C-alpha cells in the first residue's frame, strides 16, 4: 500500500511554460516526485472556462505543456500526468458540490473576484468561470490530495475547498473527503524580463523552456536593472533590479550572488558583468531542457499516449472517490 502523501498540482494548457513556471512549480515538482505520490493535472476544462470560444488554443497547447513537463525533469514513472477532461468523476463531483455551495460564497472568493476584475469580464462572465473554485475543489478532493502547491493568491481556493470537504463530509455517514493544506513556494513570483511584476506571453516578457541561445542573450541584454546605475563605479540598487532577482532565483552559488550584490551596492560592479553571469547561468539551465523538449515535441502522439496512460490511472482513483461520495449520499451506484 502506498503510504506517501498525495500532492496535486497542474496547469491550464493555455501556452507553453516559461521560466516563471519553472521557478514557481516545475522545479519543485521534480524535487517532490521522489517523496510524494504526485499527480499533475492538465486542466483543459479549466482552460476552456475563459477560452470557451477558442477551444483550439487549448487543444494545441496540451502537447506543448507535456513536452515542457518532461523537459523540466518530471518523470511519468514517478508522477501521474493526467488530463482533466478524461476524468468524468471531476465533472460529476463538481455537479454534486455545486448544490452545497451558494452563489454568494463563490462571488465572495477573493481569488475569483481578482481574476474576474483582471480579465475584465463584467457582465460577460461565463458561468463556468464563476464556479471554477468548485471545480477546483472537485479536482483536489477526487485525488484525496493532502498537499496542494499554490501561490499565496490561491489560498482562498484552498480555504473554499476545505469548506466543501467539511460540508460534504457532514452529509455522509462517515467522512470520505480529505482536508488539504497549501504548500507555498519559497520563491516569490518571478517578474518578466522587462521588470513587469507579471510574466506573461501576451506581454512578451517571458523566456520559454524552448528559448534559443540568441533569445536568451537578447532577453538578458535588454533586462531591466537600476536606471540610476550609469557608471560601473556608481553604487547601484539590487531591489527591483531584475538581473539580481533572476540571479537569486537561478544561480546555484548563493554566496557568489551575495558578494555580487554587496559590490553592486557599493559601486564597482557593472551591469554588463552581472548580465554575463546571469546569461551563463540561464544558458546552462535552459540548453538541456531546450534539447530534450525539441525531441519530445517531435512525437506528439507519444506525448498523448503518456497522457492517456496517466489518465487511466487517475480515472481509477477519482472514480473510487466519486463512488464513495455517491454511496454516502445514497445516490445509486450501478
Rounded Cα distance between 46 and 23, Å, is 22
Per CB under 8 A, the list member of 3, 53, 118, 301 interacting with a second copy is 53
Rounded Cα distance between 25 and 165, Å, is 25
Q: What is the DSSP string of 46-69?
A: HHHTT-TT-HHHHHHHHHHHHHHH
Q: How far is the CB of 58 from a second copy (least distance, A)?
A: 7
Site membership for a second copy, residue 306 (CB under 8 A): no
Q: Which residues are CB-contacts of 194 (< 8 A; sequence separation ≥ 6)?
A: 203, 205, 222, 223, 224, 242
Binding mask 10-49 for a second copy (x = CB under 8 A): ----------------------------------xx--xx
Rounded Cα distance between 277 and 282, Å, is 9
Q: How far is the CB of 8 from a second copy (least distance, A)?
A: 18
Per CB under 8 A, the list member of 73, 115, 155, 171 interacting with a second copy is 171
Q: How far is the CB of 96 from a second copy (least distance, A)?
A: 7
Region for 169 from its dihedrals, namely left if φ exceeds 0, alpha if ψ lies in -120 to 50, beta otherwise: alpha
Which span sits near a second copy by CB under 8 A: 33-41, 194-202, 255-263, 303-311? Answer: 303-311
Rounded Cα distance between 73 and 292, Å, is 9
Phi, psi for residue 312 in degrees, rounded to 5: -65, -40
Per CB under 8 A, the list member of 227, 267, 288, 330 interacting with a second copy is 330
Q: How far is the CB of 48 from a second copy (least distance, A)?
A: 5
Per CB under 8 A, the list member of 75, 78, 91, 323 interacting with a second copy is 91
Instruction: Give the CA count within 13 Å in the CB-facing half-sphere of 315.
Output: 11
Contacts to a second copy by CB under 8 A: 44-45, 48-53, 55-56, 58-60, 62, 83, 85-86, 88-89, 91-92, 94-96, 98-104, 106, 123-131, 134-135, 171, 304, 307-308, 311-312, 326, 329-332, 334
Amino acid at each position: 500500500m502506498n503510504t506517501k502523501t498525495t500532492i496535486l498540482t497542474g496547469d491550464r494548457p493555455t501556452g507553453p511554460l516559461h521560466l516563471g513556471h519553472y521557478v514557481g512549480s516545475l522545479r519543485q515538482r521534480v524535487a517532490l516526485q521522489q517523496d510524494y505520490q504526485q499527480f499533475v493535472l492538465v486542466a483543459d476544462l479549466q482552460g476552456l472556462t475563459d477560452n470557451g470560444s477558442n477551444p483550439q488554443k487549448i487543444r494545441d497547447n496540451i502537447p506543448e505543456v507535456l513536452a515542457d513537463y518532461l523537459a523540466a525533469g518530471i518523470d511519468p514513472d514517478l508522477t501521474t500526468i493526467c488530463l482533466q477532461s478524461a476524468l468524468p468523476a471531476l465533472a460529476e463531483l463538481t455537479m454534486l458540490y455545486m448544490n452545497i455551495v451558494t452563489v454568494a460564497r463563490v462571488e465572495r472568493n477573493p481569488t475569483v473576484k481578482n481574476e474576474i476584475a483582471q480579465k475584465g469580464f463584467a457582465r460577460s462572465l461565463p458561468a463556468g468561470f464563476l464556479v471554477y473554485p468548485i471545480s477546483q475543489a472537485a479536482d483536489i478532493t477526487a485525488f484525496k490530495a493532502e498537499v496542494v502547491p499554490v501561490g499565496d493568491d490561491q489560498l482562498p481556493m484552498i480555504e473554499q475547498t476545505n469548506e466543501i470537504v467539511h460540508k460534504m463530509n457532514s452529509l455522509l455517514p462517515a467522512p470520505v473527503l480529505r482536508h488539504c493544506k497549501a504548500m507555498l513556494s519559497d520563491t516569490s513570483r518571478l517578474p518578466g524580463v522587462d521588470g513587469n511584476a507579471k510574466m506573461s506571453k501576451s506581454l512578451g516578457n517571458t523566456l520559454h523552456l524552448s528559448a534559443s541561445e540568441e533569445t536568451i542573450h537578447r532577453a538578458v541584454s535588454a533586462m531591466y536593472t537600476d536606471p540610476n546605475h550609469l557608471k560601473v563605479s556608481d553604487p547601484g540598487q539590487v531591489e527591483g533590479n531584475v538581473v539580481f532577482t533572476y540571479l537569486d532565483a537561478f544561480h546555484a552559488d548563493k554566496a557568489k550572488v551575495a558578494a555580487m550584490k554587496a559590490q553592486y551596492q557599493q559601486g564597482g560592479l557593472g551591469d554588463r558583468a552581472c548580465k554575463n553571469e546571469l546569461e551563463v547561468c540561464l544558458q546552462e539551465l535552459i540548453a538541456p531542457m531546450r534539447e530534450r523538449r525539441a525531441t519530445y515535441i517531435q512525437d506528439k502522439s507519444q506525448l498523448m499516449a503518456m497522457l492517456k496512460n496517466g489518465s487511466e490511472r487517475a480515472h481509477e482513483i477519482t472514480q473510487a472517490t466519486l463512488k464513495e461520495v455517491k454511496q454516502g449520499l445514497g445516490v445509486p451506484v450501478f
